[in-house]
């Protein structure tokens, strides 16, 4: 099967000499939900900019569904839908006009453009706001408008650059559901995000980019298996003694009713429960200290810094 996106040895040096990409290579398969993670300035937006032609590459090769951007960029662009990080529409135009015009730029006749605009604005809960000038929309609505605009020509590959930045939790969840659904229907999705929880919840594969290089490119499951330890927080029913010791585990007393315990790779959480039971400590609830992926991300990024 042809990959949805192939990047080979891609490099970018800006006019001020800054080397944003140092020969990255990447392949995203059709139907995948792919996360591109990295700290600010790592090269994520530059990569997306090159794929969609807003940034000129310095070297390397990019092809979208086998259409090389150097040989047939229009064919590659037809397969692409882009949701950029910054709002990039005319703030004086109505939402419906923005989406219909975008369809026109892809050659969709007006009647079909209007049908598609209605379909996607309705699916994203924006139909009631279609005649509102875009500057009057909330941040979350503007993001959804950009998603509708990117989908109006029904691209096979949708790229979202931080789609849920500044969006409230409820709206973020509804956007996740929508993205999961269109992915299940066959649209390949690549997203960059700062919310690692988002990548873990949505994506099957992940690439971590740092200082213009890919430092990890694997499945989320595989990445999480590499974690050497996890930290759990236990909320205890009774007041805890001044010290709690469990052989083989690092235990920290957070407050009179809370314990933090590190579980290393190869250890079992059952051992912790048994030890706590022996000590007469009763647990009312338990949770992860932090997002597991976040820990992995920090380790990888710090390892390459």
Q: Which is nearer to other proteins, 82 or 196 (CB)?
A: 82
Residue 253: burial class (beta carbons within 10 Å; 0-12, 13-18, 19+): middle
The set of residues, in sequence order, having a beta carbon less than 8 Å from that of 221 and lying 6+ positions away, is none
Question: Taking the complex as a whole, how short is the minimal distance between the CB of residue 195 and other proteins, in angstroms?
Answer: 24
Count of other CB atoms within 10 angstroms of residue 134: 20
Q: Binding-site residue total for other proteins (CB under 8 A)?
A: 34
Q: Which of residues 140-159 bind other proteins (CB under 8 A)?
A: 149
Question: Taking the complex as a whole, how short is the minimal distance between the CB of residue 255 and other proteins, in angstroms?
Answer: 49
Question: Taking the complex as a whole, how short is the minimal distance between the CB of residue 12 and other proteins, in angstroms?
Answer: 9
- 6, 30, 73, 253: residue in contact with other proteins (rule CB under 8 A): 73
Element at 199 (helix H, strand E): helix 196-202
Q: Which of residues 241-300 bind other proteins (CB under 8 A)?
A: none
Q: Which is nearer to other proteins, 117 or 206 (CB)?
A: 117
Backbone angles phi, psi at 288, to 5 degrees: -70, 145
Q: How is residue 155 written in tokens? A: 């691209």
Q: Which of residues 192-221 bind other proteins (CB under 8 A)?
A: none
90 binds other proteins (CB under 8 A): yes
Q: Which of residues 9-38 bind other proteins (CB under 8 A)?
A: 14
CA separation for the pair 89, 236 (Å, rounded): 52
Burial 31-46 (b: 16+ CB within 10 A, else e): bbbbbbbbbeebbbbb
Q: Which of residues 104-123 bind other proteins (CB under 8 A)?
A: 104-110
Greatest alpha-carbon span in the chain: 74
187 binds other proteins (CB under 8 A): no
Considering only 35-43, 96-104, 192-200, 280-288, which stretch makes contact with other proteins by CB under 8 A?
A: 96-104
Q: Judge contact between 7 and 47, C-beta under 8 A.
A: yes
Angle between helices 110-123 and 139-151 (to 10 degrees): 140
- 1, 17, 74, 302: residue in contact with other proteins (rule CB under 8 A): 74
Considering only 46-54, 163-171, 193-201, 296-304, which stretch makes contact with other proteins by CB under 8 A?
A: 46-54
Q: How is residue 230 written in tokens? A: 């996890």
Cα–Cα nearest to 297, from 229, 230, 227: 227
Q: Which of residues 53-72 bind other proteins (CB under 8 A)?
A: 53-56
Question: Taking the complex as a whole, how short is the minimal distance between the CB of residue 114 and other proteins, in angstroms?
Answer: 12
Backbone angles phi, psi at 230, to 5 degrees: -130, 150
Considering only 32-40, 102-110, 136-144, 259-267, which stretch makes contact with other proteins by CB under 8 A?
A: 102-110
Tokens 């995948």 belong to 32
Question: Taking the complex as a whole, how short is the minimal distance between the CB of residue 18 and other proteins, in angstroms?
Answer: 11
Question: Taking the complex as a whole, how short is the minimal distance between the CB of residue 191 and other proteins, in angstroms?
Answer: 17
Q: Judge contact between 45 and 54, C-beta under 8 A.
A: no
- 17, 40, 86, 287: residue in contact with other proteins (rule CB under 8 A): 86
CA separation for the pair 81, 241 (Å, rounded): 58
Binding site for other proteins (CB under 8 A): 14, 49, 52-56, 73-75, 77-78, 80, 82, 84, 86-92, 97-98, 101-102, 104-110, 149
């Amino acid at each position: 099967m042809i990959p949805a996106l192939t990047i080979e040895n891609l490099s970018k040096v800006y006019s001020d000499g800054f080397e944003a990409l140092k020969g990255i290579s990447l392949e995203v398969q059709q139907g995948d939900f792919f996360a591109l993670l990295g700290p600010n300035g790592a090269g994520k937006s530059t990569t997306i900019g090159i794929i969609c032609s807003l940034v000129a590459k310095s070297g390397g090769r990019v092809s979208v569904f086998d259409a090389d951007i150097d040989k047939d960029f229009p064919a590659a662009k037809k397969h692409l839908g882009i949701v950029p990080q910054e709002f990039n529409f005319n703030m004086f135009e109505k939402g419906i006009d923005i989406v219909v015009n975008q369809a026109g730029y892809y050659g969709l006749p007006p009647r079909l453009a209007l049908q598609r605009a209605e379909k996607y604005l309705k699916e994203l809960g924006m139909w009631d706001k279609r005649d509102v000038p875009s500057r009057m929309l909330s941040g979350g609505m503007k993001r959804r408008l950009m998603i509708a605009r990117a989908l109006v020509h029904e691209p096979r590959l949708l790229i979202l650059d931080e789609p849920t930045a500044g969006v409230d939790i409820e709206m973020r969840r509804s956007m996740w559901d929508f993205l999961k659904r269109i992915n299940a229907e066959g649209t390949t999705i690549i997203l960059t995000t700062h919310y690692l929880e988002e990548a873990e919840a949505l994506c099957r594969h992940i690439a971590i980019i740092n200082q213009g290089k890919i430092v990890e490119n694997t499945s989320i499951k595989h990445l999480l298996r590499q974690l050497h330890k996890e930290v759990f927080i236990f909320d205890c029913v009774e007041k805890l003694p001044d010290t709690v010791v469990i052989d083989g585990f690092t235990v920290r007393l957070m407050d009179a009713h809370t314990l933090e315990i590190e579980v290393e790779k190869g250890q079992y959480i059952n051992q912790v429960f048994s030890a706590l039971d022996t000590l007469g400590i009763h647990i009312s609830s338990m949770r992860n200290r932090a997002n597991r992926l976040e820990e992995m991300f920090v380790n990888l990024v710090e390892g390459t810094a």
